[in-house]
Structure 1
């Protein structure tokens, strides 16, 4: 090798080393702020979004090594909820979780993530998804086979404590929540999943609702509540709260044509 070639080769190697060093130093700056959790950023598809997005996986370093996974875009939005859940099987302070939100933002910017085909599986787990899907199918079946228990808002036939829910067919409600949406009472959800209403079973109820929401079946507009408030009868002013369930093909059972309400 000539002296000139050696010099050129030396320059190239030096540049390569500098680049690798800078890259390594760049990633070394990303220090996980959670003392008792391993943090991993995942990237993939989720049914709630038309584009690929991110999820954050928390794995406890404490006994059991349990883990939970949350959508990155909801990390701050559902901060209190996630903080409480993480402290059930691990240990993390409010300050640490806030720093984690900033940490994963930098992971995202620098492209430090793991690609997965389905974020929902990572968040819910395959077994939970199958069970939640079965319960959703059961809910849809119970609605379409007993439409009398779910009168439409415009019919004015909803009776509190008697009806299982109400179908949101008025133009204002369809503009607000979309078409083919059914409001279901808490008691009816308990009945569908085969549980008696009780403080102990409330946890299981919330697990099912959260799973349906992650799968894109529950409509949630309120920040702090899973139920939405609206008037189930047009003739009265009293509002009630319901879980809002998307029921694809509902209009076919109602024998109505699909149309988009305008302002």
Structure 2
């Protein structure tokens, strides 16, 4: 459901919302997301991928410096939500304007490394906005307070901290119990699942990277409400 802008929220839904960016994205990714959501939002130039697939975005959010006049003309004016400030990315502008149990985002990984790093930063900074980034081979999300997943033994489970983080795990080949994870210290890449995995984190700041095949399980975990949710950052 697209709302009038209140308290910064433009799009609100009790079901997952799809978010499309202008980075690397193909028709398979577009269809994968659209098959799992009812509401589709574009971050600026991400509208092109949606329109090319035959779907007009329910909302377009961004500074509108990358959407072409051709695509913009195909979108009703009441679905366009320009945010002109230049201190944040279009992904940031869109994600902070969406309220949903989980956002499934495509078109934000691949291509430029600086764009990917900015997307990871946004995931952690907007800690109260659960979001799954869809990559070519992985899915990436900001770890909630707790999550349980029935993974296949041998699946890669990478944990990368963007802040100082501690926590506990069950079902990982190398437990994170008693570890202090830090971006300039101990990280948790290339761990492996023994089967079902439970991860508990003491605070926000940990990126979780799983095989793309785990997408539906991750979405269901967020939708279940059993993961808990980090509060919005002050300021």
Using structure 2 for the length normalisation, give the TM-score: 0.28
The structure with the largest alpha-carbon Rg is 1
Higher strand share: 2
Looking at both structures, which has the greater relative contact order when contacts are Cα pairs under 8 Å and sequence separation is at least 6? 2
Q: Which has the higher helix share?
A: 1
